[in-house]
Amino acid sequence: MSDLAPVTQALQHATRLLDRAPHLAEQQAAAILEAVPGHPEAELLRGMARRRQGDAAEAQRILAALARAQPRSARTQFELALAEAALGEDARAVAALRRTVLLAPGMSEAWRTLGDMLTLAGDAAGADDAYGRHIRSAVQDTALMAAADALCQGRLDIAERLLKERLKQHPTDVAAIRMLGETATRLGRNVDAENLLRRCLELAPSFAAARHNFAIVLFRQGRAHEAVPHIDRLMADKPGDPGYRNLLAACLAVSGDYDRAIGVYEAVLKDFPKQPKIWMSYGHALRTAGRRVDAVAAYHHSIELSPTLGETWWSLANLKTVPFSAVEIAAMREMLGRGDLEREDRMHFCFALGRALEQAGDYAESFVLYAEGARLRRGMVQYSADETHGSVERAREVFTAPFFAKRLGHGCAEAAPIFVVGLPRSGSTLIEQILSSHSAVEGTMELPDIALLARDVGRAGGKDVAGRYPGCLAALSAAEIEALGEQYIERTRRHRRLGRAHFIDKMPNNWIHAGFIHLMLPNAKIIDARRHPMAACFSGFKQHFARGQHFSYDLTELGRYYTDYVDMMAHVDAVLPGRVHRVRYEDMVADTETEVRRLLEYCGLPFEEGCLRFWETERAVRTASSEQVRQPIFREGMDHWRNYEPWLSELRDALAGLPSATGAPPLDPAGQGPDPLN
């Protein structure tokens, strides 16, 4: 084989064999190397073939030696990165990928793989940049290259303008549609992105990148169950893709399919064992499924891999049943003393160390930490107490007694839903666990569907004042109102796996939609979980919520939110007397059996002894109270907020208007109303 032509032909033949018969490709490469020892392309093929046969260690050895001999070969660096990733050497893989794109900036496949690896590592910004560069390097059209360049540089307005101009001339250009969808996603316009990507997939169903984008957009809109079939379809072609698998596990967990989510996480961690954020997510799924010991072990492993990952420390603290050791407390203090700690990690460490010091009885310092964590978190979210108050005022104006009297008999007759509303940390998870212990009731999770339906109704109503939710409901016909209720029942059907007569929707923020719920589902049950104002608000203040509840990170805003909530529920009581059943947490603790019997009677359910032994019920629980409801009711924490009373004057002042609210505790026989703050 001294002649170069036969060597070239043999190399081409070996390359063709790589995917369908890698063992034959290796044999061909070995034959070339026997004739031409050290031939770099043959060595590369041998390494690629070994990895495809599952021998990543030998592939790494071959490719590392070749990379030292051929340091300017981008393809060698890329294949070395794939071998490193297969061995779980993720940091090395990322380094090799960065060398690859430095040598070959136009290597689209390398940018996409780098994006996948950075996604696994939790580097969202880095992954975003890599995926953007993947788009730019994959595009050959000069007009699209300009838009891709603007997208990579974050000049989203320019990218949007260029892409819209392109689509005016070429409305079926799927690459441009996908890029415009990506631009809309980055602008936070998820609905626009969804519509664009849906159109893209109608035109090109096999466009994998667009389908991946589409699944992400669905996930971000709280529709993870809709994303799962799309990820399954992507994985049919690339079952080992880490980005696909990680997204699938997250979607399954959000959708309530915890067993499958745990299985996917375990498979990912088998291939990529050094990813602290994946270990943390795995811990979340285990905790929700009730596997506390395994969850704790997963969290500890995450911390071992990345001691600065504050979210994992908070996840341990949020179990509430796992005390921190003196060594762990010292480690958290050390982390907070670092000047290079990311803001989000610092926020999580504040909440975690605050919880640890609270457990140790150091309330003064724990409050300082809670307040700092809340301050940091408040700076990361958008919330307007005035907007919440305005929403309540509009709801009170629309949902009047005459409004409901005129629509008597409207709505979907289905009686399956039981809504539990109120403030987070007010006993709603306890109520859910008690009811879920009944043979006729299935607990699900905090479902987003009511808020999503309200949003859709408002969008359909138009942009003028009359079309805004909830005012737009006045224009709906009886058939349209009934259809909304039916739509809710259909959308939530996926969460009902036990075939029971009733199911629970425990989204606490649905209190603001109580009138909407009654309008479209007049036979559904609505339970208001009420707790002492100071206890409920402070419990929320020291809790970092993974999503939503943005009102809870400022004491004044918390007090205003609670006041708006009480006023809204008092209004519902006035216009729909007896419609809402109220459970006061303190009463449930003081006389559990009486309150459980009242609760079941309201729901039209016969008493069952299992409801009094709710902690024995095995089911997935996602909320912050997941560990507490797996134990009998404890009374010690009811007045725990009083340990922090010296620092809660802002909250007390914000709640000062409560005694005059119709939702305040009832008057005593002497006509003197008790102060709900004491």
> What pLDDT, on the 0 to 100 scale, is given for residue 625?
45
Q: Could you tell me the CATH number of the domain that includes residue 116?
A: 1.25.40.10
Is the pTM higher than 0.95?
no
What is the Cα Rg of the chain in Å? 29
Q: Which two tokens stand for residue 7?
A: 């060597």
Residues 6+ apart with CB under 8 A from 237: 208
Residue 572 lies in a domain: yes
Rounded distance between C-alpha atoms, residue 77 and residue 72, angstroms? 8
Instruction: Point out the residues of the chain with pLDDT beneath 50.
Output: 1-2, 619-630, 660-675, 678
> How many domains is the chain built from?
2
Domain boundary among 133, 164, 187: 187
CA atoms within 13 A on the CB side of 41: 13
Rounded distance between C-alpha atoms, residue 379 and residue 412, angstroms? 42
Residue 199 lies in a domain: no
Residue 241 lies in a domain: no
Rounded alpha-carbon distances, angstroms, from residue 51 to 38, 80, 259, 421: 19, 10, 30, 54
Rounded distance between C-alpha atoms, residue 287 and residue 280, angstroms? 10
CA 624 to chain centre: 14
> What one-character DSSP code corresponds to residue 504?
E
> What pLDDT, on the 0 to 100 scale, is given for residue 369?
97
Host domain of residue 21: 4-187
471 and 465 Cβ atoms separated by less than 8 Å: yes
Rounded distance between C-alpha atoms, residue 228 and residue 518, angstroms? 32
Residue 82 lies in a domain: yes
Q: Which residues pair with 421 in a beta bridge?
A: 528
Residue 277 lies in a domain: no
Sign of the dihedral defined by the CA atoms of residues 57, 63, 65, 67, in that order: negative
Residue 645 lies in a domain: no
The closest alpha carbon to 425, from 633, 625, 640, belongs to 625
Residue 584 lies in a domain: yes
622 and 447 Cβ atoms separated by less than 8 Å: no
By CB atoms closer than 10 A (0-12, 13-18, 19+), residue 302 is buried
Residue 360 lies in a domain: no
Count other C-beta atoms under 10 Å from residue 175's C-beta: 23
By CB atoms closer than 10 A (0-12, 13-18, 19+), residue 394 is middle
Count other C-beta atoms under 10 Å from residue 593's C-beta: 12
Rounded alpha-carbon distances, angstroms, from residue 335 to 348, 356, 377: 11, 14, 18
Rounded distance between C-alpha atoms, residue 621 and residue 429, angstroms? 8
- Sheet of 441-445: strand order equals 441-445, 502-505, 417-422, 525-530, 580-584
Count other C-beta atoms under 10 Å from residue 54's C-beta: 11
Rounded distance between C-alpha atoms, residue 553 and residue 537, angstroms? 10
Q: Could you tell me the CATH number of the domain that includes residue 423?
A: 3.40.50.300
Domain boundary among 147, 162, 187: 187
> What pLDDT, on the 0 to 100 scale, is given for residue 419?
97
Domain boundary among 161, 187, 213: 187
DSSP 391-448: HHHHHHHHS-HHHHHHTTT-S-----EEEEEE-TTSSHHHHHHHHHTSTTEEEEE---
> What one-character DSSP code corresponds to residue 576?
S
Rounded distance between C-alpha atoms, residue 506 and residue 420, angstroms? 5
Rounded distance between C-alpha atoms, residue 622 and residue 526, angstroms? 21
Rounded alpha-carbon distances, angstroms, from residue 366 to 6, 115, 354, 594, 649: 75, 39, 4, 36, 17
